[in-house]
Amino acid sequence: MQTLTETLIQAGLAGRVLSQTQLARLLEGTSQRRYNLVNRALRHGELVQLRRGLYLLSPNLRNPAPHPFALAQALRPGSYISFESALSFHGWIPEAVPLTLSVLPGRRRVEVDHGALGLFRFCPLALRQGHFLEAVDRHTFAGQAALVAQPLRALMDIACQRKLEPGDSVAFVQSMRIDAAMLMHIPPATWQALQQVYAHNRTRASLQALQLAFAP
């Protein structure tokens, strides 16, 4: 009988995060057979359980290794990559970010430390209903999708989280070491769309202050 590990490698899924639903589509037979195959792989150290119902092959069997953004998306479906992680991804800030930062619906912050796989932090924000994914795009990393905030959305998510005052907006951008030219090239439609996103007047006023300062 072919092992689960052999099946995943032959299917080209060695670097993928897989749910129970995906395993059920991939593996033939009964649910008991799937359960036995998964348990055998876990016992032999060939499979890592990220959380209940979510699996990944062990490091020596992964090729390619999963991207942290794809892992974050799998750990908390419905979230999107934002804050400094998204700004670094888009080349807006020079620093590497040692953890993966995301926004998730709800009110509770979640932090997941998976050792060698990385540290993942999921933060809620005060957002208007129906605008959670405004200025958020789908990207693919080695065949696995993740939602990533556009640069201005990521920047304003930081401003929202920090409760930035409008009068501090220019100093905030300077402290992030963001090139002003980046903001000057943001289309007017993006500035306008983001005015609908944030629940607090303070954040919307900060967005307006940034637009007046950098893209009047």
What local confidence, expressed as pLDDT, does residue 65 receive? 77
The sheet that has 18-19: what strands, in order across it?
A: 18-19, 54-57, 47-51
CB 124 within 8 A of CB 102: no
Residue 90: predicted pLDDT: 97
Domain that holds residue 79: 68-214
Mean pLDDT over 54-70 rounds to: 84
- Beta bridge partners of residue 112, listed in sequence order: 120
Are 67 and 142 within 8 A, CB to CB?
yes
| CATH number of the domain within which 44 lies | 1.10.10
Domain tally for the chain? 2
Three-state secondary-structure class, residue 70: helix
Look over the chain and give the mean of its residue pLDDT values, rounded to a whole number: 91
* Residue 186 DSSP one-character state: S
Q: Which helix (H) or strand (E) holds 144?
A: strand 144-149
Cα-Cα-Cα-Cα dihedral of 149, 153, 157, 159, to 10°?
Answer: 150
- pLDDT band for position 185 (50/70/90)? very high
Among residues 61, 87, 104, the one where a domain terminates is: 61
pLDDT in tens, 107-154: 999 999 988 788 999 999 999 999 999 999 999 998 889 999 999 999
- The pLDDT, as a whole number, for residue 143 is 83
- 56: tokens are 């990944």
Question: Looking at the structure, do residues 54 and 126 belong to the same domain, yes or no?
Answer: no
